[in-house]
Amino acid sequence: MEKSERRLALSHRILMEAEKPARYTGGELNSVMKEADLVKIRFCFCFPDVYEIGMSHLGMQILYGLLNSYEDVWCERVFSPWTDMDAIMRREHIPLFALESQDPVRDFDFLGFTLQYEMCYVNILQVLELSGLALYAKDRKEDDPIVIGGGPCTYNCEPIADFFDLFYIGEGEVSYRALFDLYLDCRQKGLGKKDFLRKAAVIEGIYVPSLYDIAYNDDGIVKSIEPAASDIPATVKKALVKDLDEAYYNTAPVVPFIQATQDRAVLEVMRGCIRGCRFCQAGQIYKPVRIRSVDKLIQYAVELLENTGYDELSLSSLSTSDHPMLKELLERLISMCNERKINISLPSLRIDAFSLDVMNKVQDVKKNSLTFAPEAGSQRMRNVINKGLTVENILSGAELAFKGGWNKVKLYFMIGLPGEEDEDVAAIAELSNEVAALYYDTVPKSERQGRVSVTASSSFFVPKPFTAFQWAAMNRPEEFLRKAAYCKSKIREQLNQKSLVYHYHDSNTTIIEGILARGDRRLSSVIEEVYRNGGIFDAWTETFSYERWMEAFERCGIDYGSYIYRERAEDEIFPWDMIDCGVNKKYLYREWENSKKGTVSPNCRDKCTGCGCTSFTCGICIAPRGGTL
């Protein structure tokens, strides 16, 4: 197919005003150009954050390649213009445009958002307004793009439901072709947007919020969720890829002109996680565990490196250590990458003898920082959250690391977990001190590379939908800060305090994230109010304003505390109960009760806990216990 002639939407004068002009020019290696007149559907794919963040996202690269593999579809990219370009485009009245063709977003058939974190919600409104589109779906014209959202935040998309025509729940490889075929059929028959949405609602994984009626009790709790018609499904079950080896994978991803946050080739080795951490939403919504075969991964690795020119390859998954053929995979990758002088990045590995041995074998190992994620300081709290990690595991891993030449350790914790007491917070300092002390006990003085450094970082806990803790209450910001200050004071009391550093997350951002994660459709007015009053890039510290959100809640008459500061009843209807992620609510409540007793549940490989994902009949759910997937 011949390439379209490209003419930049921004003049050289305007580009030179921008901090990073390459965010807006397109034309990168592996970007796809098609002839607009020869395709039937134009899809504009938006990551509602800055270019460097969006270009680091594997899911966007996969879907970009998948949609462009269809001859009749041209998928292009757009990102949120940074504050400097945002101001310029408003001043010069320049409509937001897609990178590939530089055509205005409003001229496309679909505008698709990937929703990776709640704090990007105001940027959705930025993209819509800069595109010349009405913010609310009900106010858009018949010939405006269909606005669709996907990604993990769609598992509770209610706070932004009024801004979207539909949502794609689950993995994008499954239902997009059916959705596009329906769109083309409706267009050929002269059917309008409402008819298309009504028919789309029965496609696997497609949720059309306008076709569901939400009623509330006087106290604001959801009273009922009902489909608007009998032919609309009561629940929307996620779309799931059953066989990763047969699924599409983009081995020619777009390579940015400027450095992205993750500037390397990425190899997705598996999906899902066998661990049953009760705080982890990803561990539930991406069930069941499915792996890619070693042969397929080696094939993809070769193609990725040849098509991109990257000198680093990263293995991606929620828990790479749990790939049953990891040893064989790494042996083959190391052999191949050493020949090509390619570095291997190994995130998501448990720190054990095997992992450290592998790290010693890969090129360019920087032996100055290893990361552990105990999540909680005390064993009691690790049992509460079902972390499946003991202090012996942590210390033995640290000992192996110190013997292997590492002298810097990062420890990640959460503060504000359900049932947490002050002694659990103090245990963060005590565990950090134990790790530091172990260095001096393990490494002879003559072999030490200076003082050990142990950095403990704590985020503040948000109870997310589709986790065992979705019934839990959040701490208030003052309680978060009190606990963080208490932890810091305990750090200062430790014998090895000079080797310890402690950081903690911003509590105000956590509160807003919690509200948006657990909210309902009444929050759309709040999000709009924040945006109208200058809210943009709230995921960024320098542009986030807690006061702006508090003022918006007051102006809109919304009691935000009801979303986060109370424990839910067992039978409460959640705003997201029309979504079925495969893990059933009874199982999650059972895990909530187990957490209160500190009862540890087995992982999926050791024993099925009856979460409900056997209905997908794939992956670990059909593998023999203790066997491969």
Query: CA 189 to CA 206: how far, in whole Å?
Result: 22
Q: How many domains does the structure of the chain reveal?
A: 3
447 and 305 fall within a common domain: no
pLDDT at 353: 74
In terms of domains, do 331 and 414 share one?
no
**Do 39 and 186 lie in a common domain?**
yes
Angle between helices 326-340 and 294-308 (to 10 degrees): 30
In a domain, 579, yes or no: no
149: which 2 tokens? 């959202």
Asked if residue 315 and residue 169 are part of one domain, the reply reads no
The total of other beta-carbon atoms located within 10 Å of residue 387's CB is: 22
Last residue of a domain, one of 453, 482, 505: 505
Structure tokens at 385: 């959250």
**pLDDT tops 60 at residue 629:** no
pLDDT exceeds 90 at position 449: no
Is the pLDDT at 3 greater than 70? The verdict is no
Q: CA 94, CA 102: separation in Å to the nearest integer?
A: 11
Pick from 195, 221, 237: which residue ends a domain?
237
CA proximity to 214, closest of 524, 515, 575: 575
pLDDT of residue 2: 44
- Whichever domain contains 487, its CATH number is 3.30.750.200
The domain that contains 342 carries what CATH number? 3.30.750.210
| Percent over 70 (pLDDT), the chain | 97
* 215 and 275 assigned to the same domain: no
Residues 550 and 127: beta-carbon distance below 8 Å: no
- CA dist., res. 344 & res. 347, Å (int): 10
- Domain match, 79 and 227 both: yes
Listed range (306-320, 355-369, 477-491) with the worst mean pLDDT: 355-369
Instruction: Tell whether the model's pLDDT for residue 364 goes beyond 90.
Output: no
Q: What Å distances lie between residue 130 and 76, 78, 81, 91, CA to CA?
A: 17, 12, 9, 11
Q: How many CA atoms lie within 13 A of 13 on its CB side?
A: 3
Q: Residues 401, 356: contact at Cβ < 8 Å?
A: yes
Residue 583 counted as domain residue: no
Q: Which amino acid is at 44?
A: C
In a shared domain, residues 376 and 358: no
In a domain, 591, yes or no: no
Predicted local distance difference test score (pLDDT) of residue 369: 74
Q: Are 590 and 570 in contact (CB under 8 A)?
A: no
Domain that holds residue 347: 264-364+599-629
Instruction: Please indicate, yes or no, whether residues 297 and 387 belong to a single structural domain of this protein.
Output: no
Q: 366 pLDDT exceeds 60?
A: no
CA distance 109 to 130: 17
Same domain (yes/no): 34, 176 = yes
| Residue 544 located in a structural domain | no
Asked if the structure places residue 249 within a domain, the reply is no
Shared-domain flag, residues 184 and 81 = yes
Provide the pLDDT for residue 146: 98
Q: What is the mean pLDDT of the chain?
A: 94
Q: Is the pLDDT of residue 4 over 50?
A: no
Strand pairing category for 212-216 and 222-227: antiparallel
CB-based contacts of 582, cutoff 8 Å, min separation 6: 237, 238, 240, 287, 288, 611, 612, 613, 615, 616
Kindly report, residue by residue over 388-415, the tens digit of the pLDDT.
889 999 999 999 889 888 899 999 999 9
Mean pLDDT (whole number) for 203-227: 97
Residue 368 has pLDDT above 90, yes or no: no
Residue 186 is assigned to a structural domain of this protein: yes
SS3 617: coil
Q: Identify the domain boundary among 458, 473, 505.
A: 505
- Confidence check: pLDDT of 206 > 90: yes
> In terms of domains, do 207 and 226 share one?
yes
Spacing of C-alpha 589 from chain mean position: 24
CATH code assigned at 197 = 3.40.50.280
- The sign one gets for the Cα dihedral 278, 280, 285, 291 is negative
Looking at the domain assignment, is residue 577 inside a domain? no
pLDDT tens digit sequence for 297-355: 999 999 999 999 999 999 999 999 899 999 999 999 999 998 898 988 888 777 777 77
Q: Is pLDDT of 418 > 80?
A: yes
Read off the pLDDT of each residue in 256-263 and give the average, rounded to a whole number.
Answer: 92
Radius of gyration over every alpha carbon of the chain, rounded to an integer in angstroms: 25
Question: H or E stretch including 112?
Answer: strand 110-114
Mean pLDDT of 141-161: 98
The DSSP bridge partners found for residue 270 are: 291
Domain assignment of residue 566, yes or no: no
* Whether 27 and 162 share a structural domain: yes
pLDDT digits (tens, 9 = 90+) for 592-616: 999 999 999 999 999 999 999 999 9
